[in-house]
């Protein structure tokens, strides 16, 4: 089913359930704003998801409604994860999908962090 990325937020989505502890994850990092964990279907040798702890449907929702401290805290968490995983020297890619055409699959804002090999072009085709 296509994901619109727009409210309302679905509290039964898989990331909401992970945040509530109903589904386990392979945690990489956690602070007051964010949780980072390994993707269960990695698309690169290193594929980590960073999610805000509060309920946002997409980047659109997050950027419009999160407070400045939360946005800054989330972005810093993405940077901390990359640094703690030792990704800075070789490089990495950050990706956030929004809506059906963007390829969003889970209706909870999240950032993909890819690394561990040359990643190629940003958009295929």
% pLDDT > 90, the chain: 92
User: DSSP code of 9?
Assistant: P
**Which regions in the chain score pLDDT beneath 50?**
none
pLDDT of residue 124: 64
In Å, how far are 13, 21, 43, 84 from 119, measured between CA atoms? 29, 32, 10, 20
pLDDT of residue 1: 62
Q: Which pLDDT does position 31 carry in this prediction?
A: 98
Q: How confident is the model at residue 46, as a pLDDT?
A: 98
What's the confidence (pLDDT) of residue 122? Answer: 79
User: pTM score, two decimals?
Assistant: 0.95
pLDDT value at residue 121? 85
Instruction: Please identify every residue annotated as catalytic.
Output: 110
CA separation for the pair 94, 115 (Å, rounded): 9
Beta-strand runs (E) in 39-123: 46-52, 93-95, 111-115
């Amino acid at each position: 089913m296509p994901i619109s990325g727009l409210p309302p937020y679905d509290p039964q989505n898989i990331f909401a359930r992970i945040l509530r502890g109903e589904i386990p994850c392979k945690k990489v990092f956690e602070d007051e704003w964010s949780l980072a964990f390994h993707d269960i279907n990695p698309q690169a040798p290193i594929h980590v998801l960073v999610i805000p702890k509060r309920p946002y449907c997409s980047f659109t929702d997050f950027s419009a409604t999160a407070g400045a401290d939360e946005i800054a805290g989330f972005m810093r968490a993405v940077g901390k994860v990359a640094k703690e995983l030792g990704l800075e020297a070789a490089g990495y890619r950050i990706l956030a999908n929004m809506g059906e055409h963007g390829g969003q699959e889970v209706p909870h804002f999240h950032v993909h962090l890819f690394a561990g090999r040359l990643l190629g072009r940003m958009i295929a085709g």
